[in-house]
Structure 1
């Protein structure tokens, strides 16, 4: 006869109540995640169609034009006519207009403006990164939570309850992995786009700073 440790039944019952009470929140979060993943995928397609593709050769040409500019007004015209994003133009124009600043002050401003863009990029990728990591975890939780009552029902011969538990377990697993996979793809593609955006902005801002140092 196996001796029962006092309080074990209470603790295991409490754990069971807690785990079973998490099933509904897990399912709700999974539904939110999969809806968000679909919306984000649509946003990625829309962003792709409207995105300015700026090859390295074009950045090289813009830098060459900046290096040959003879005045700040001409520099502003080059920035305004450049085939880059409106936000990049705004940042570069802001640097070009700061004629009252010395080189160190202008460099500090450039770093801060670029850091602000990096913060925006991190914030844009943060949500999809969360879904990438948490989606499969919620799917695993949705798999394990209903299996406890399902196995208990199997012990009493209730096949229907076990079948329902298995259906819920498989559905939550599929939804969690699907949401995580879509979010991962979106995050990777956007990360590559934003890295190129920041690299171009950094190169062009250095060119503008170099214009005032000459």
Structure 2
């Protein structure tokens, strides 16, 4: 029994460094997600100013004039698929494929932030619990330096893990609303312009 307990302790202790490395990698990815989110927000505001008002004037006859190339910029995900949708409006199967591809692209983009929201806190919890064993051993033996160092690692990994989770959760919530609105707009445009 002692061997099994010691083996579990070695395994958990051996996971501390990989956990910290993964936390740092996910933190870097979270910072890149924030940068991409800012870019998506800027594209969203441009779309809201240029394309959204044009949708109220949209009809089958004036679609090319209302949604001209100046208004449809290849900067945002919805703009790319709006252009593809207009190019395939005469072919129902291809147009529906464009809509399905847009949904898949949205899910793929949301998958990244959902991963951050789920994995970040898990890694933070692992980084908290792993050093608690050596910290308790240090407390029992009176080694306050070891206790302090392990508690510092435990609290730091918790904070970083929660920060990663918060970035993922925040971006997921907002992007989900954006993509639902974009899908509705694409379906509306297709319903208006299809032959």
Q: TM-score by structure 2 length?
A: 0.87
Q: Are the counterparts in 2 of residues 128 and 184 from structure 1 also a CA contact under 8 Å?
A: yes
For residues 130-167 of structure 1, the C-alpha deviation after alignment (integer angstroms, 9 at most, x for no partner) is: 01011011101100000101111211111110111100
> Quick one: which of 31, 37, 55 aligns to 1:38?
31
Q: Are the counterparts in 2 of residues 92 and 208 from structure 1 also a CA contact under 8 Å?
A: no
Q: Are the counterparts in 2 of residues 79 and 89 from structure 1 also a CA contact under 8 Å?
A: no
For residues 24-83 of structure 1, the C-alpha deviation after alignment (integer angstroms, 9 at most, x for no partner) is: 111011111111112211221122223311686542322xx32xx2xxxx6544443584
Residue 52 of structure 2 is aligned to residue 53 of structure 1: no
- RMSD over aligned CA atoms reads 2.0
Question: Max radius of gyration: which structure?
Answer: 1
Residue 24 of structure 2 is aligned to residue 28 of structure 1: no
Q: How does 1:49-198 map to 2 (within 5 A)?
A: 49-51=42-44, 52-53=47-48, 58-62=54-58, 65-66=59-60, 69=61, 75-80=63-68, 83-84=71-72, 86-96=79-89, 98=90, 106-198=91-183
The number of residues matched between the two structures is: 187
Structure 1: distance between partners of 2:99 and 2:70: 18
Structure 1 unaligned runs (5+)?
1-7, 99-105
3-state SS, counterpart of residue 193 of structure 2: helix
Structure 2 unaligned runs (5+)?
74-78
Structure 2: distance between partners of 1:127 and 1:81: 30
